[in-house]
């Protein structure tokens, strides 16, 4: 299904602000638990492990889109929450999380500029969030897989550990975009390059299905966005620490 520019812009604003969601009244305290199987990976983050165990700075670069930000509340977006959680769990390590926004760009467009993007940067870990724009534009899934493959290879050549992060889940757009081809291809690339895949799509669907968040009801609320991003930051921090095999000795 093809989208016109207005539809794409509308969906991206929806993704960026998470305004297509409301919290249920009974969920005064958000649990947002994540099943262990959604945070487990056989792929490791050796450079992150070396940095933590050696007491070296842990520099993390998030290559993201609008859904990695919250307008006027950047510290509350998941990259900021990830930094806060890692600093809390790794008090002996200088943790810095920066964000490179690649708004409205497909994986192919981002991958084409990956080498230049990494120039002058020496991140220990790159978290590449991708797939949403490709799904909205109905990009060819094979071309998408090739682009993600190229981008991951460029990041690894630049000397960084890599985590792939897939689309965010929204029940309101399930009938408008077909996510499975892009989810499946990201998983294939992650396996081929032996990099962890943070399954944001499955995690958010779990929260919606379990009632932690109602991601269908259309209301405008930055507080809901903050809660979802906080939960994502918490889950991602655990994912990073576990994939890096950081033991209790290095943690607070």
What share of the chain has pLDDT > 90, as a percent?
A: 66
Task: Report residue 92 as tokens.
Answer: 């002996």
Mean residue pLDDT of the chain comes to 86
Can you give the pTM of this predicted structure? 0.86
Q: Rounded distance, CA 122 to CA 47, Å?
A: 12
H or E stretch covering 121: none
Confidence of residue 252 (pLDDT cuts 50, 70, 90): low
Which residues make Cβ contacts (< 8 Å) with residue 23, sequence separation at least 6?
Answer: 30, 213, 214, 221, 223, 224, 227
Adjacent-strand bridge partners of 62: 99, 127
**Ranges 1-5, 33-37, 61-65, 139-143: which has the least confidence:** 1-5
**Rounded alpha-carbon distances, angstroms, from residue 25 to 22, 28, 207, 210, 225:** 9, 6, 15, 15, 16
Mean pLDDT score, 89-108: 96
Residue 249: what pLDDT? 61
Element counts in the chain: helices (H) and strands (E): 10, 5
Task: Report residue 127 as tokens.
Answer: 């978290």
**Ranges 17-26, 36-45, 62-71, 138-147: which has the least confidence:** 17-26
Structural domains for the chain: 5-23+41-243 (3.40.50.1110)
Residue 86: what pLDDT? 97
Q: Which of left, alpha, beta for 44 (phi over 0: left; psi -120 to 50: alpha)?
A: beta
Residue the block writes with tokens 């993704």: 15
Burial class (CB in 10 A: 0-12, 13-18, 19+), 163: buried
Would the pLDDT of 12 be above 60? no
* Cα dihedral value 85, 235, 11, 74, nearest 10: 0
Q: Rounded distance, CA 121 to CA 97, Å?
A: 12
Q: Rounded distance, CA 91 to CA 122, Å?
A: 22
Residue 217: what pLDDT? 60
Distance separating the N- and C-terminal Cα atoms of the chain: 49
């Amino acid at each position: 299904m093809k989208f016109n520019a207005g539809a794409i812009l509308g969906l991206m604003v929806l993704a960026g602000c998470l305004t297509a969601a409301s919290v249920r009244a009974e969920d005064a305290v958000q649990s947002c638990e994540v099943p262990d199987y959604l945070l487990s990976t056989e792929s490791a983050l050796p450079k992150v492990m070396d940095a933590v165990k050696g007491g070296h700075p842990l520099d993390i670069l998030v290559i993201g889109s609008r859904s990695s930000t919250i307008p006027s509340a950047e510290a509350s977006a998941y990259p900021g929450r990830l930094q806060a959680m890692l600093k809390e769990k790794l008090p002996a390590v200088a943790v810095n999380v920066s964000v490179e926004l690649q708004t409205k760009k497909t994986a192919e467009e981002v991958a084409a500029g990956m080498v230049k993007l990494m120039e002058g940067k020496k991140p220990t870990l790159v978290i590449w969030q991708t797939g949403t724009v490709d799904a909205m534009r109905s990009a060819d899934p094979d071309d998408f897989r090739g682009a993600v493959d190229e981008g991951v290879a460029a990041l690894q050549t630049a000397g960084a550990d890599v985590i792939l992060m897939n689309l965010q889940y929204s029940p309101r757009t399930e009938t408008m975009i077909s996510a499975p081809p892009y989810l499946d291809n990201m998983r294939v690339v992650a396996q081929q390059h032996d990099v962890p895949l943070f399954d944001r799509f499955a995690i958010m669907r779990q929260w919606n299905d379990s009632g932690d968040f109602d991601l269908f009801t259309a209301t405008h609320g930055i507080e809901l966005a903050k809660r979802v991003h906080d939960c994502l930051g918490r889950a991602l921090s655990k994912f990073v620490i576990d994939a890096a095999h950081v033991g209790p000795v290095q943690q607070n």
